[in-house]
A = this chain, B = another copy of it.
């Protein structure tokens, strides 16, 4: 790290989880950024490379106490913390001129009451929410450029919104019956020692979870409603897949008009560096984006035998730790600091 002057000085708060180590992987290899501080209350004093041997020889920092860290001297600070932490700490940093990319959910929902309902806590910085920019780059690129505080989207919301987006923008689907059947690798749940995330519980197994209601539901619905200009009806069903990384969103929308779906999707994402529309008839697999910042999408109109018109089925895959978290966070940083959006994000997928 520190390969040259004029590097973006980046701090990471809460760098001991999977999004933290992924941020480190990306920033260590980023040609225009350097990590100058990384904090963890619980592991203060532990060298980063002791906790993550994969980074041996690459990171000379140790985790530090949050209050001791020189976060105020950073150009940008990433919060890779559990929900509820960033909202208590960003104000002081913003006042010192530090820009923030929050990977947690603290600033994703504009409606404070709704946020408090789903996250079951009092919001500590409601006055900052309105100014927070939702960091889905493909939608909010222009507003991210000058943002002081970016709310980095959730993993499911990224894959789901990018998949529905062209259909909703084009106004060709019934907005009351959207269905997102989504599947996530286990790292999406974070690096917590919880029973259901143990190898012997999750391996060779598959199930849905949180079917009655998941915190990403209001986030996705907010995003889709903004695209649609009205409320949308959405059923959102997450599942846990016995794999490390990857999200696969299978999206269903009832078509209200006949339209060439393939062309619609290709044209909408023509200039996007990180959205790849596959040829008609394709089925993207999650490994085709593993360890990369790419979202690959295929769109289908399957046989359904109904007389009421037909259904668009969109398949959208991302790596939950990259485009679904740390990669998109770096993408946001690049936009915020006026450097080419793809800088440091060109890593090719690792297959097999």
Contacts and interface: CB of A to CB of B under 8 A. Distances in A.
Interface in A227-275: 231-237, 239, 241-246, 248, 250, 252, 254
Contact of A243 (B58, B242, B278, B284): B242
A228 to B, nearest CB: 12
A41 interface: no
User: Which 3 A-B pairs give the minimum distances between C-beta atoms?
Assistant: A233-B306, A207-B285, A54-B349
A213 B234 CA distance: 25
A341 to B, nearest CB: 15
Identify which of A183, A199, A307 gathers the most chain B CB atoms within 10 Å of its CB: A199
Number of copies: 4
Contacts of A338: none
Contacts of A176: 306-308
B302 A248 contact: no
Interface residues of A, number: 95
A255 B282 CA distance: 32
Q: Which of A207, A243, A290 has the most CB of B within 10 A?
A: A207
A196 to B, nearest CB: 9
Contacts of A283: 207-209, 211
A79 to B, nearest CB: 20
Contact of A242 (B55, B209, B217, B241): B241
B203 A305 contact: no
Interface in A30-60: 52-58
A92 interface: no
A101 interface: no
A277 to B, nearest CB: 10
Interface in A178-226: 179, 181, 183, 185-187, 191, 193-195, 197-209, 211-213, 217, 221
Nearest to A350: B291
Given A205-B287, A250-B239, A212 B348 contact: no
A15 B285 CA distance: 21
18 contacts: A18-B352, A56-B278, A57-B276, A185-B204, A186-B203, A193-B193, A193-B195, A199-B199, A203-B242, A204-B244, A204-B287, A207-B286, A208-B248, A211-B283, A235-B311, A237-B250, A242-B243, A252-B252
A30 to B, nearest CB: 11
A300 interface: yes
A121 interface: no
A104 interface: no
A305 B233 contact: yes
B199 A302 contact: no
Contacts of A317: 207
B235 A252 contact: yes
Contacts of A205: 243, 246, 285-287
B206 A54 contact: no
Nearest to A243: B204
A303 B180 CA distance: 13
B200 A244 contact: yes
